[in-house]
Amino acid sequence: MTFTQWFLFFLLVQIIHFAGTWKLYQKAGRQAWEAAIPIYNAVILMKIINRPWWWVILLFIPIVNLIMFPVIWVETIRSYGRHSTTDTILAIITLGFYIYYINYATDVKYIEDRSLKPRTAAGEWISSILFAVIAATIVHTYVMQPFTIPTASLEKTLLVGDFLFVSKFHYGARLPRTAVAFPMVHDTIPVLGVKSYLTKPQIPYLRLPGFEEIERNDIVVFNWPVDTVNAFQQYGDGKYYYKPIDKKSNYVKRAVGIPGDSLEVRAGKVVVNNEPLQLPGRAKTQFTYIGTTNGQGFNPRYLYEEYDITDGYYHNPNTNQFYIKALTEDAYNRIKNHPNVTSIERYSDSLGSKDRSIFPNNGKLNWNNDYMGPIYIPEEGVTIDLTAESMPFYKRIIETYEGSEMGINNKLSLNGTQVLLNGQPVNSYTFKQNYYWMMGDNRHNSEDSRTWGFVPENHVVGKPVFVWMSWDANAQGFFNKIRWDRVFTTVKGDATPTSYLPYFLIIVVILIAFNYFKKRRKNA
């Protein structure tokens, strides 16, 4: 839905509200016209049901309002003496239209000083749970979201098993695109395994102001641009479904290219604007290595403990060849001197070899994981020449990211060497938003922009800022599995991560002691 369509829908809701409540406003000592003025009518309604005015704000927060509307319906009928379970159920299952019956067909009286305390213990629990969910939804959607690192694409910077807090406010919180969704879950309702949202209606893209822009080398959480879901986790059925932007899978990568950059990959190393990418000190790139041994292999546990090799190791005893999926340069410099190793070298695709899985996935370029580019990363407002050669790079942007996902029917095609946009010849195109090039530090074990291309700005979720827990599934023993040196550490920084857990524990002890002595003094 466009902003115009949403505005018309908003006016329709005001008409429905007025038609169903104007008599109730009068019985509460208000004027009938007060039920017809948008927003003002909601403020007056809060006075009638004896609830704070700021509840009105909650009615305009997507997802939260889905919880608030039923609460308002029930609070309204209770303000006129309708407290029974039947009344409550009817108000909810009729989507509030039961209030029409109260308004026109009953002679109810307004209870001005009604008690706001729930009449039963169950009601008390339900009320507490509802507002806990509302508060958590607001924090989850607009402030901070928990996130777990599921893959090794950013090892050794972020590890599999790291539990993060992702800030929504650094880059500006994005309003949900899906207007109707189950709160605090992503695309699938846990246990039930069913879709957690309605595809329509969709809210137009809007992002609140942030206090910083995405900088080169920032680690970013974003929605995977090319995502579809296979029958909502029913893998193998061959059925795929469209997903709205905010319900696409969450990925985390490093923004190695920002809007306006020209980017290349040379021998696995990223080059931006003809300069080698300078990664922060905490970042450790990894590559695949192959080699031979003197006949003696390695114990995987030994490789893990001595060289921090976590992504896989294979040794063929018949040929004495071995394969390490991901190895840092520091670990390579140490393992090459191991007495069992006779040779070891970094694997690299050959310059000029062709990999059809590499963006733009048309099989016409001699690009691969280790050699690709240069490629221009689009910047909002910049105009490019649109030719038969450049069209494959920006086709998905024009047709999808700035087309169907924005409610525009764009179609690119070729007539000989002439590019056609919706059947009309075009020679240039101006980008409507910024784009980013996201890659993992684990260069040979990361599906990233090299495979599926640009990440649109409207797909950006937030910035990882804090590791609050880290779990090492490869370690032995429960307490050894907790990476204590990573608990309560920041994500960004050049130095080795510093754990703030001791300071946190000290603060907790101080607060407990303060409350203990405060209670003792009060009871003395």
Report the catalytic residues.
153, 253
Specify whether the CB–CB gap between 222 and 251 falls below 8 A. Answer: yes
Half-sphere exposure of 134 (CA within 13 A, CB side): 20
Query: Among candidates 269, 268, 289, 264, which has minimal Cα distance to 279?
Result: 269
Q: In DSSP terms, which residues pair with 420 in a beta bridge?
A: 413, 425
Is residue 136 classed as helix, strand or coil in its secondary structure? helix
Report the distance separating Cα 346 and Cα 65, nearest Å: 55
How many other C-beta atoms can be found within 10 angstroms of the C-beta atom of residue 50? 15
Dist CA 103 CA 22 (whole Å)? 8
SS3 state at 250: strand
Beta bridge partners of 376: 262
| Cα 201 to Cα 164, 179, 247, 422, distances in angstroms | 31, 6, 14, 26
Amino acid identity at 520: R
What is the helix (H) or strand (E) element at residue 41, kind and residue range? Answer: helix 40-48
In 220-359, which ranges are continuous DSSP H helix?
300-307, 329-335
Query: Are residues 222 and 455 in contact, defined by beta-carbon separation less than 8 angstroms?
Result: yes
